[in-house]
Amino acid sequence: MMIRKSLLTTVLLFSVNVAQAGFMVFDSVGADAAAITPTRDAFRTAVGGGITAGADGSFGGLRREINWDGVPDIRADPNLLPADFFNVNSPRGAVFSTPGTGFMVSANSGQASPTLFGYPNDFQAFSAQRLFTALNSSITDVHFFVPGTTIAATTSAFGVVLVDVETALASKIEFFDRNNALIFSQNALVGSNQGLSFLGGVANAGERISRVRITSGINTIVSNGVLGNPNDDVVVMDDFLYAEPAQVSEPPTFALLALGLLAVCVRRRSRKAVA
Ligand SMILES: [Ca+2]
Ligand SMILES: [Ca+2]
Ligand SMILES: [Ca+2]
């Protein structure tokens, strides 16, 4: 019985420590790309993978980035971006979902739709020149897969560039684990009109992120030049950065060991009872 109790205690303590462990926060806000680039670079360094992009937005096999700029015109404003574009067309292990009606990448100059979703006095690009938004919702969920497959994966870090954050507590990122438990939440820093905000979190105690929820402002983009309402803060997104998605692993060895020993204890007790 004593062995059983101490094992249970160990397992419980481990769970509590994991739940309370922190994430390193990387955030900044400024008037242009140069203002937030040092924070983006610090996030890159923390995650690893260097600064040279390989195929499918892979940086050294350690990190992925999506800057939207390579999306073809036919998948950009006024057309929708397929939610699985970055796991099928350009396999980077990221699939999106939203309570809204879909996703849109902004047009390049020279296309039929105006650039910057039609708001040149509110938005600017961090990486030229396409931006990203959910439609009819300010919520974008990012789900992770082993790139190019349907095998569920997790990541250890996620960062995003937010555009035109002007209202406090209205734009944030949230991380959820495999059990859909919230393990990290951080509000974006507020800037002035047309500003850029970087916001990222990096696990520092082995936490694994199964889903990232980005809340981008209060208002919504309906279509190019059309907002959900005339008043509230509208925010869109540019670069996504995240640690290479890795396959969801089996329960840790220690847990299996503990479960095995518990089973032995239970069997012994059962035998005793029979005897
Ligand atoms: Ca604005
Ligand atoms: Ca871009
Ligand atoms: Ca805004």
Alpha carbon of 239 to ligand 3 centroid (Å)? 17
Contact by Cβ (8 Å): 169, 182:
no
Alpha carbon of 106 to ligand 2 centroid (Å)? 9
Ion ligand 2: protein residues whose beta carbon lies under 5 Å: 67-69, 125, 127, 130, 238
Alpha carbon of 160 to ligand 2 centroid (Å)? 11
Alpha carbon of 270 to ligand 2 centroid (Å)? 64
Q: pTM of the entire structure? A: 0.85
Hey, what are 204's tokens?
């520092």
Hey, what are 1's tokens?
């019985």
Alpha carbon of 81 to ligand 2 centroid (Å)? 14
Contacts of 236 (CB under 8 A, 6+ apart): 106, 117, 123, 131, 132, 133, 162, 163, 164, 216, 221
Q: What are phi and psi of 110, to 5 degrees?
A: 95, -10
What are the pLDDT digits (tens) for 34-53? 999 999 999 999 999 999 99
Higher pLDDT, 248 or 128: 128
What are the pLDDT digits (tens) for 104-136? 999 999 999 999 999 999 999 999 999 999 999
Among all bound ligands, the one having the nearest atom to the CA of 71 is 2
pLDDT value at residue 252: 56
Contact by Cβ (8 Å): 180, 147:
no
pLDDT-derived band at 25 (thresholds 50, 70, 90) equals very high
Task: Choose among 141, 164, 137: nearest CA to 219.
Answer: 137
Q: What are phi and psi of 224, to 5 degrees?
A: -55, 120
User: Is pLDDT above 80 for 4?
Assistant: no
Alpha carbon of 131 to ligand 1 centroid (Å)? 15
**CA separation for the pair 53, 240 (Å, rounded):** 13
Cross-strand bridge partners of residue 157: 202
Residue type, 49: G
Alpha carbon of 184 to ligand 1 centroid (Å)? 27
Residue type, 195: G
What are the pLDDT digits (tens) for 170-194? 999 999 999 999 999 999 999 999 9
Among all bound ligands, the one having the nearest atom to the CA of 238 is 2
Q: How many CB atoms lie within 10 A of CB 193?
A: 10
Span of 161-165, 212-216, 249-253 with lowest mean pLDDT: 249-253
Q: What is the mean pLDDT of the chain?
A: 89
CA 152 to chain centre: 15
For the chain, the straight-line distance linking the first and the last C-alpha, in angstroms and rounded, comes to 18
Among all bound ligands, the one having the nearest atom to the CA of 107 is 2
**CA separation for the pair 138, 155 (Å, rounded):** 23
